[in-house]
Amino acid sequence: MPELPEVETIVRGLAAKVVGATIDRVDVRLPRVVVAPDGMRFGKALCGERIVAARRRGKYAVLQLASGRALVTSLRMTGRLVVAQPAAAELPATHVVLSLRGRGVLRFSDVRTFGRMRLVAAREAWDRDLGVEPLSSDFTQEAFIGMLSGRTTPVKALLLDQRRIAGIGNIYACEALWEARIRPSRPAGSLTKPATHRLRRAIIDVLQRAIEMRGTSVDDYVDADGLQGGFQNDLSVYGRGGRPCRRCGGSILRTVLAQRGTWWCRRCQR
């Protein structure tokens, strides 16, 4: 569930709290949630490492380590990364605890256990299958047109494809399509040039606004301080089935597209 704005909010919170910290102890309570390169033991390899940066790639939180390795966390549905004092109460299903010298503990919890912490070797191309970052200068109008052109896939399914654009999930795909007044089932290649332009602007706009609001908490998402986001109050369509469209007053529909609940307005999305 955490998408680009939620993971961005988490890593900004982590950056303030863990950058510069040395990992003193690693407690892995559920071994299957951690992955390490062959021949490297996760906990042993991390002990003594210093965290030099926290960043995001797609929906992944990346802690860059002084050795050149990186600790990459995918939160999937219900994963949480929270920094706390050792004495503070733990969230349920805490699977990994990193003790940071003089800086508290970094806890990875995940009720549904789909999330993973992965240690990657220096220069390992772990993200080679991820597409363009939508808030980067690489996400140009030309690049976006190239992605859509000739494709019969519903435009919403294309927005969710992490190999093309990294970080957009169900919430922001629905919201961006509403903002751009585009029907989610439209074949990607059928979008006119102005519609493509509107959609690209809408993707950037909705992601930026959600980051400003520290993400959307409709599920389990909390930031690195354990606090909820605020964008759930600004959603236009996601989860608003049967309620009036904020733009035209029409009724918001919920349909299923590419196995995902999809919310949209029949009257103003074409």
> Which chain residues interact with Zn ion by CB under 5 A?
245, 247-248, 250, 265, 267-268
**260 a catalytic residue:** yes
Of the two residues 41 and 243, which places its CB atom closer to Zn ion in the complex? 243
Single out the catalytic residue among 57, 59, 80, 164.
59
Q: Are strands 94-100 and 70-74 parallel, antiparallel or unpaired?
A: unpaired
**59 a catalytic residue:** yes
Q: For the CB of residue 60, give the shortest distance to Zn ion in the complex, in Å.
A: 34
Single out the catalytic residue among 151, 181, 201, 260.
260
Query: How far is residue 168's CA from residue 147's CA, in Å, rounded to a whole number?
Result: 15
**57 a catalytic residue:** no
Of the two residues 191 and 265, which places its CB atom closer to Zn ion in the complex? 265
Of the two residues 145 and 268, which places its CB atom closer to Zn ion in the complex? 268
Strand, helix or coil for residue 16: helix
Query: How far is residue 153's CA from residue 189's CA, in Å, rounded to a whole number?
Result: 8
Q: For the CB of residue 205, give the shortest distance to Zn ion in the complex, in Å.
A: 17
**2 a catalytic residue:** yes
Of the two residues 260 and 267, which places its CB atom closer to Zn ion in the complex? 267
- State the residue for tokens 């004092």: 85
Of the two residues 61 and 180, which places its CB atom closer to Zn ion in the complex? 180
Query: How far is residue 206's CA from residue 107's CA, in Å, rounded to a whole number?
Result: 29
Strand, helix or coil for residue 203: helix
Report the alpha-carbon angle 159-59-13, nearest 5: 135
Active site residues: 2-3, 59, 260
